[in-house]
Structures are given as C-alpha cells and as structure tokens.
Structure 1
Amino acid sequence: MLYVDEIYGEFEIGGVLVDLIESDSIQRLKGVYQGGASALVSDKWNVTRFEHSLGVMLLVKQLGGSLEEQIAALLHDVSHTAFSHVIDHVMDNRQENYHELIFQRLIEESTIPTILESYGYDYQTILFHIEQWRILERDAPHLCADRVDYTLRDLYRSRQVECQDIERFLEDLTIIDGYMHLRTINVAEWFVQIYYQEVLDYFLHPKNIYAYDQLSKVLRDALDEKVIVEDDFLKRDNEVLELLKRSGNKDITEMLKSIHKDIQVVTVDDNFDIYIKMKPRLIDPDIIIGDEVIPVSHVSTKAQQMNNYAKERAEKGTGIRIIQS
C-alpha cells in the first residue's frame, strides 16, 4: 500500500499496518477532527485524527522506530471521541485525558487485538505500556513524535509554515538513546516559536475558545436531556451532530446554530463573555552541544523568553467577548 502524506512524503506500508489502517477503529478517525469544535468555525482547522495518527506512525518510521513502535503510534489516538478534546470540557476533565481513560476498553472491544495476534503480536505489551516508546511519547517540555506531528500538521494545513522549513527541521532531528533531539540552536528556536503559534495563537484563538465553550454546553445539555448517551461520543463528529439536529429539542438545536464560521469574537482582559484557563503547554527541545545534550533554553535567550511568555499567558488565562453571534 502506498501512502502519500503531505508532510513526510511517500511511504510503502504493508502487512499488519495495512490491516490496522483498514480496521473500523482507525477508519472512524477520518470523521473525527483533531481540533474538536474548531472545524465548525473555520475551514482551515480541518486536520483529522486519521491524518495525525498516520503522520505520527510515519514520523516514527522515518526516525528508525521499530515496527512495534509504529503500531503503537498508529493506534495512540484510536480512543479519541467525537470532537476530540471537547469531551474533556463536557466531562469537566481538567487533565484533558478522557481518551486515555477509555483507551484500554476501546482496544479490547475492537478487532485490534485479533489483528495483532494474527501477526504474532501481544497487543497488551505494545499498547498498554506507552512509556516504552520513547520516540512516540515523552512528557513535555521534550520533543516526541505526537507533539511534533500535530504542531507541524495543524500549522502546515493552515499555511503558517512552509515546506522548506519543515524539511529543515526534520533533517535536523536525530535520535539518541531512543529520544528525539535537535542538532542546531536556530532550528530548535524555530520549533519553539511555531509550537507556541499552535498552543497560543490556535488553541487560544477567540473563535476556537468560543466554539469549544458553546459545543461543550450543547453536548452537556444533550446528555442531561438524554438526547445522546456517553457512548455516542464513540461515533464520528457528523454522526453526533445529526443526533443533535434530529432531536427535536429546540434549545439544543438553536444553541448548535450559534456555532458557525461567521461568528465575531475578540480577546479582552475584562468584561468578557467567556474565560478559560488551560493547562500550561511548554516546549524546550533538547539539543546537542558538543558531547552534551541540553535544553535549548539553557543556551538561547530567545527560547527562554518565549517559554516565559507562554507560561505567563497560561497562568493569566484568556477572556473573549462576543461581538456578533
């Protein structure tokens, strides 16, 4: 199977990976937007969990990760619900890890164990010990394939980064003891800059905040009114939207209509209609200096300043005012 990715190029994929990609569990992710409610208010925020999952798998492959780590990468987001992290707002999950809490159940109720076992793999060993996959996942502020892919993919799709810059970054990446590092300070500074474009300019864009807040309220009311049940979140985005639209509940359908691409909202410091405080998302890539591996902020004032600003923004929170609904 030839898969062409807009960031990493062409890859030949075979065997167990093809069977997993063609499974219902992975195919469902074609209908789940990575940005949650974002796609409802902007055409440029349209990356799917399917594209991201395959992208992370390809990045792990490109960096020399084992087939087992590629499998883990492909499946790492398989339990994301409709509208992705919106569910965390609905469930008041401040850790933003609802999909992780249901991951094991979703895997064991799917065809994934059977597929993996048919190729001689123990699904529990590969999927339920994510800490062993050092390229795939690593706690912030370090680099990992998951963090790198969603940043590059969102910003490339919204035309905020260029191909040549992505290529320069990927060429600068290297693996030491299974972990991702960069070789040069300026490339590390570039990634710090675009990462904060992702988590500050995109995640905290006033339209995005509005969409998350409104859709969370719609879905919470729909649960309370028994229009949907929790397991409906295991469907695709559009399937859940159809359940809401066909519910006959006037309040829910009217609130749903208020989430659209022409909404006008602005960021304000006071007299806001919506205020949120997100968990801090910081990045500090490790770079190679001589024989040492150190965080770029230790040798770059620019990176240190960007980190300080991002921390201040997170601690302050963000308020928005609705100008025209």
Structure 2
Amino acid sequence: MIIEDDIYGTFTIQEPVLKELIETSSIQRLKGVHQGGGSYLVNEKWNVTRYEHSVGVMLFIRKMGGSLEEQIAGLLHDVSHTAFSHVIDYVMEEEKEDYHEHIFKEIIYQSDIPSIIEKHGFDIEPILDESNWRILEQPLPDLCADRVDYTLRDMYHYQGLSKKEIDDFLQSLQFDGNNLYLTNTHVAEWFVRLFYREVIDFFMHPLNVYGSQQLKQLLKVALEKHVITTEDFLLQDDEVLDLIRQKSDDKLSTLLNGLQTDITVIEDEQLYDYHQKSKLRYIDPFVITESKSLQRISSLSESVKYETNKAKLKSEKGTYVRRIR
C-alpha cells in the first residue's frame, strides 16, 4: 500500500495489520467527516477530513520512530468522531469538547477492529490506552502527534504554509523516548506562532464560528423534531444532511439555507447572532539547550510569552459574529 501524504511525503505500508485497518469501514467513514465541523459548508476550501488527519497521525508516529502498536493507536485515535466533528460537542453541550472520547471504546468494540488487531497478534487494550503512548497524545502545552498534525495540515491547506517550512520544522523535531522537542529556538518560536494562527485565525475565525453555530442550531432542531437521532451522528456529514433535506420543514429549510458559501459575516460585540468561546489551547514546546537540558520555549522567549497570553485572552473572550449577508 502506497500512501502519498501532503505533509509527510510518500510511504510504503507493508504491515498487514495497518493495511487491513485502513480498509475497514470504520476508518473509511472518516473520509466523509470533516475536521472543521461545519466549516466546509460555508467555505468549500476548508475541507480537510478526519481520515487525512488520522492517517497523518499514524505517519507522523512512524516518522518519529514510534512502534507499530503506537502507529495503530494513532490511526484509530479519531475513529469515534461523529459527523461534523466537534460541532456535536456543542449539540450535546459537552464543554470539554470530548464527546467522541466518551464513546471511543464502544465504537471500537462494535466494529471489526478488535478481531483484526488480535488476528495479527496484538493485544487491543494496551493499544487503546493513550497513556501508553508518548508520541500520539500529550496534555497541553506539550507537542504530540495529534497537535502537530492538525496544525501543519490545516495551515498548509488554508493559510499557505509551505512544504519547505514543514520540512524545516520536522527536521528540527526529535523524540527522546519520553518527549518530543525541538533543536532550534527559532523553529520553536515559529511553531508557537503557527499554532496560534490555527487557534485564532482558523478555529476562531468568524465564518468558522458562524458555520459551527448555525449547524448546531440545525442539528438541535432536527433532533427535537425527530428527523434525526443521536445514532445518526455515526454517519458521514453529508449523509446526516441528506436525512434533514428529505424532510419538508420550514424551520429546517431556513437553517439549511444559512449554510452556504456566499455568506458574509463580521465580528461585532454589540450586535451579534452568535458568540462562541473555544476550549483553551496553548503550546509551549520543549527545546534542547546548549547544556543538553530540555527547557520550555517560554523560559527562553519573551515573544512566546506574549503570543500565549494574547491567545488565552482571545480564547476567554471568544468570537462575536454577526451575519450581514
């Protein structure tokens, strides 16, 4: 199996367990689940999928020297993401934006994933326990595969991040068996700025917020009218929308018509249609110093302290959005 990835390049996947897992309906479903939730409905270019991200996380772990078991864990880490990704957290009123984590094991065990993993001689329980993996997932403010991949991938597709910039960053990135760290202070500062572009300029972009909140309203009304059920959230994005479109209902039609690519919105704290606060996301990667010790970049860079404080204030304030057309 040959995988050509926009971020990490071309890989030959020879391991039967990975090839078989990639072909499962559980992983293939993610091709129709957009990473940005409702963003693709209001900007057709915001179309990165959970499949691209999941395969990318697997490849990143592979590139960093992670074990086959950790690569499997990376491939599977988002398999329980519902249609429209984190928009469902707003629908279900999950403040920590972790609905998919609550149903993760249930979704895994209802699939053919366990039998495939065990057929190839692996124990599934340790694979599903993210605390076993140092590359895949780490608490903020550390670097990890998940955080690095979605930042590089989104910024490459949406904000003109170049392949050279990606390659320079990856060349400076190392893993010591416990921590991902950078060998260059300037690269660490660069990634912090890039991460906040992701958090502020994309996650909290007024049009993105509008798309998420308008879609939330649509899904809530569709649930209330029994047009869809929570089980339908395990379909792909467009499959859920098709169920709603099939219903002749004025309120649903009005909300659907508000999810178009010709929508124009502005930020307006006084007269707004939607206000959204985002989960606090900040980054403070380790850098190796001349004395061979690992230090947070914030202890070495005033600009990082400034950027982090600005991002925290923006996250606490949120985005106020008014539709003007």
Work out whether the TM-score is over 0.5.
Answer: yes
Q: TM-score, normalised by structure 1?
A: 0.98
Name the structure 2 match of 1:157. 157
Name the structure 1 match of 2:322. 321
Name the structure 2 match of 1:199. 199
Deviation track 1:46-72 (CA, whole Å, cap 9, x = no partner) reads: 100000000000000000000000000
Is the contact between residue 126 and residue 132 of structure 2 (CA under 8 Å) also seen in structure 1?
no
Is the contact between residue 41 and residue 260 of structure 2 (CA under 8 Å) also seen in structure 1?
yes
Write the distance in 1 (CA, Å) between the matches of 2:50 and 2:228: 22
SS in 2 for 1:221: helix
SS in 1 for 2:324: strand
Amino acid at match of 2:264: Q
- Counterparts of residues 106-255 of structure 1 (less than 5 Å): 106-127=107-128, 129-255=129-255
Amino acid at match of 2:102: L
Deviation track 1:30-59 (CA, whole Å, cap 9, x = no partner) reads: 000000000001122110000000000000
The runs of at least 4 aligned residues of structure 1 exceeding 6 Å deviation read none
Name the structure 1 match of 2:25. 24
Name the structure 2 match of 1:104. 105
Are 1:48 and 2:52 an aligned pair?
no
SS in 2 for 1:28: helix
Name the structure 2 match of 1:300. 301
Amino acid at match of 2:167: E
SS in 2 for 1:302: helix
Task: Report how many residues are paired.
Answer: 323
Write the distance in 2 (CA, Å) between the matches of 1:35 and 1:218: 16
Moved more, 61-70 or 262-271: 262-271
Name the structure 1 match of 2:5. 5
Moved more, 245-254 or 227-236: 245-254
Write the distance in 1 (CA, Å) between the matches of 2:38 and 2:225: 21
Amino acid at match of 2:223: L
SS in 2 for 1:96: coil
Write the distance in 1 (CA, Å) between the matches of 2:220 and 2:273: 19
Cα offset, 1:316, TM superposition: 1.6
Name the structure 2 match of 1:95. 96
Calculate percent identity across the aligned residue pairs: 49
Write the distance in 1 (CA, Å) between the matches of 2:157 and 2:230: 31
- Counterparts of residues 261-300 of structure 1 (less than 5 Å): 261-289=261-289, 290-300=291-301
Write the distance in 2 (CA, Å) between the matches of 1:279 and 1:158: 21
Amino acid at match of 1:195: F
Write the distance in 2 (CA, Å) between the matches of 1:276 and 1:158: 21
